[in-house]
Amino acid sequence: MNREEQLTKLKQNPEWDVIIIGGGASGLGIALDSASRGYKTVLVEAVDFAKGTSSRSTKLAHGGIRYLEQLDIALIREALKERELMLKNAGHLVRSQSFVIPIYSRLKGYYFSTGLKIYDLLAGKTCFGSSQSISKEKTIELLPTITQEGLQGGILYHDGQFDDALFAINLARTAIEKGACLLNYTKAISILKNEEHQITGIETEDQETGEKYSLKSKTVINATGVFTNDIMSLDSSKNRKFVIPSQGIHLVFDKSFLPSENAMLIPKTRDGRVLFMVPWHDKIIVGTTDTPVDKPSLEPKPLETEINFILETAQIFLTKKPQRSDVLSVFAGLRPLALPKKEGQEPKEISRNHQIIVSDSGLISVIGGKWTTYRKIAEDVVDKVIEIHHLPKVECKTRTIPIHGHTTIAESEQKNHLSVYGTDIPELLKLQENEPELKEKLHPNYPYTLSEVVWAIRNEMARTVEDILARRLRLLFLDARAAIECAEKVAHLLSKELNQNTDWKQKQIADFEKVAQGYLLH
């Protein structure tokens, strides 16, 4: 996946069957679906792939247990089917994860146990493992640092876990392999129309060079998540708002706070949400919140009330009480929720079902949805494109398309940090053999090597220090201070690989450190 090659492809093909704006989960999924059906497809992303919401999730490929309370059975069933396909098609990035719900009330125990049996039934043949009630002793064995006072037992169940940003990068590579043209750092700046006010394409601007390109197509898809309203405003100033952003944050701790391969689910916090404590890349992620925000931002900031809520809730359920000083990283993401039909609805009450909106000009916008259902969202959008714009009808093929790197990873190998590279592992090791200096570790406390930085630049379209440390190696999300310490090494390799000068290198370091400050608790 090389940006220069993709840029050449863009210049050589001014006309397309399908243009997609937005390089998150939905946009990348649509690009793969469209290209695999044989349509001439181009996707432009203003910053990096999965820069926004799609790299800031709770890292779960799941049906959504909390939607049972809302009786959103259709969404759960659909998500559970898609969870199975994610595991089937991206075994190097998705795995089964065991969860334990601690029970402090017998009545609530019966309630949650019944709900999870329904969850198992909805999963059917795709069930990752049947739920079961377990004793107090077994609960303590699986969750060694669980608060024992009042504990009566637990419920063990299974769901899916994945690496969201790496899944997105490999999704992009798969779409390119199927013939799509994908470009990051390429912003859609205007929508082109004919005299009848029907869309004829878009104008884009390369954010690295300032060069502009006109791309022609009757089909333009707006898959920009929380920025959907902005693109709809480019289409028409009369378009009303369709998306409201809701913020969710996560705190990351050392694994000593929950030294277990099992995740913990607190099914009912004081704000009525669920709280997850999930092992991920040898750390523990704790979240999330659901806070309405007025305006979307590329770098949303966690609120003090959100931070305190997660800390206080975690302290209730853990014997090793996490403090503010223990937080290795804090990250915030914005959910692109469809504007509620009922006035006064809380964000947690708004359905995560996706919606497809077609404007008078022919702009197709997709709103809502969740990571786990990205493939089904893409299928529905491309089907709508065929219906509206009369493209030759071709059936969806993505149910059986392996995501780049797919391989079935043995459980013993999942602990090796290179497992996320899947079938690319031999090539990565060959890079180390050919350039031995790249075997050096990026940071003494983490397994990442310089070879992985170079791999991200040469093969995964990484263009900035942040691209690498946030979305290719995930270090910014795991340990913000360690990531800052690595910035200079990464900037040096970037400037060398991209033929940039010292001033560019220093600006990269400064820009990254400014972003990374938002991941630290001061």
DSSP 23-75: -SHHHHHHHHHHHHTT--EEEE-SSSTT-SGGGSS-SEE---GGGGTTT-HHH
Which pLDDT tens digit goes with each residue over 481-492?
999 999 999 999
Alpha-carbon torsion (55, 58, 60, 64), positive or negative: negative
Kindly tell me if the per-residue pLDDT of 345 is higher than 50.
Answer: no
Pairing of strands 263-266, 275-280: antiparallel
Percent of the chain with pLDDT over 90: 84
pTM recorded for the entire structure? 0.95
The Cα–Cα gap between 164 and 49 comes to 11
Which pLDDT tens digit goes with each residue over 210-267?
999 999 999 999 999 999 999 999 998 777 788 889 999 999 999 999 999 999 999 8
Kindly tell me if the per-residue pLDDT of 350 is higher than 80.
Answer: no
pLDDT of residue 242: 86
Which pLDDT tens digit goes with each residue over 88-106?
999 999 999 999 999 999 9
Which pLDDT tens digit goes with each residue over 419-461?
999 999 999 999 999 999 999 999 999 999 999 999 999 999 9
Average pLDDT, the chain: 93
The Cα–Cα gap between 49 and 365 comes to 18
pLDDT of residue 352: 56
pLDDT of residue 410: 55
The Cα–Cα gap between 424 and 451 comes to 13
Average pLDDT over residues 269-290: 90
Kindly tell me if the per-residue pLDDT of 351 is higher than 80.
Answer: no
Considering 173-187, 292-306, 412-426, the range whose residues carry the highest mean pLDDT is 173-187
Kindly tell me if the per-residue pLDDT of 341 is higher than 60.
Answer: no
The Cα–Cα gap between 99 and 160 comes to 10
206-243 in b/e form (b: 16+ CB < 10 A) is: bbeeeeebebebbbbbbbbbbbbbebbebbeeebeebb
Q: pLDDT band for position 414 (50/70/90)?
A: low
With contact defined as beta carbons under 8 Å apart, do 90 and 419 qualify?
no
**Span of 167-176, 408-417, 423-432 with lowest mean pLDDT:** 408-417
- Considering only residues 48 and 294, tell me which one the structure prediction assigns the higher pLDDT: 48
pLDDT of residue 63: 86
Domain architecture of the chain: domains with CATH: 3-53+166-242+349-400 (3.50.50.60), 411-519 (1.10.8)
Residue 162: enclosing H or E segment and its boundaries? strand 153-162
With contact defined as beta carbons under 8 Å apart, do 480 and 519 qualify?
yes
pLDDT of residue 213: 96
- Considering only residues 116 and 338, tell me which one the structure prediction assigns the higher pLDDT: 116
